[in-house]
Structure 1
Amino acid sequence: MKIRVVQLNENERPVVAEIDASQEIFSKGLEGAIVTDDIHLWFKNEKDEEDVLKDNLIFAYEDLEWEVICGNAFFASYIGGKDTLSLTDKQITEIQNRITPVITRTGETLFAIRLDQ
């Protein structure tokens, strides 16, 4: 089954895409962050020895703390204990409103995502 997600690949702007929603995707060491109650961000947090991941995404928390995530990530709709679902148009707009391009001191462009938690 294909689901609609927002992908955030290294060195690219976020794009809406369809991916296979098989469990195999989620068994590859992915971690999640809750953006809203029904939108989760999935990313690979630990590098394998062969991985050459670049900084890609900044989590910006309400308390002004932040965290840099490397590698590709994607947003999907997720309801606890259930399957990952396609994003609705409203959810995609919510994600787009939370993403801000940020220029680092080294001149790289990363994307910051506002998290409520």
Structure 2
Amino acid sequence: MEAARLWLAQDPDPDTRAELAALIERADLAALRDRFGTKLEFGTAGLRGELGAGPNRMNRVTVMRAAAGLAKVLGPGKHVVIGYDARHKSDVFARDTAAVLTGAGLHASLLPRP
């Protein structure tokens, strides 16, 4: 429950914040365990998973954390091109990624459309 509260405090997305707040309010331990019991892993197709709150879902926090990890590996001054597709929130995830990379000193070029 503490991990869920900490996540809630840092989540910039009103949809996933509302989802998580409702789970905490209901004390839905099974749903919270499913979302917080493990983390999405970066596989051959990148990050893939169900949209929702928590580290075992695709959401803005998960994407921003992955972008921060990429920035750390690449280091400042590198140039990254970011594209996205028509899936739900893909454009938001792309903008968040660009913001994190730029904030870490990389040059991010965001493609204008899917």
Shorter-chain TM-score bucket reads: under 0.3
Bigger radius of gyration:
2
TM-score, with normalisation over the residues of structure 2? 0.26
Q: Larger % of helix: which?
A: 2
Q: Larger % of strand: which?
A: 1
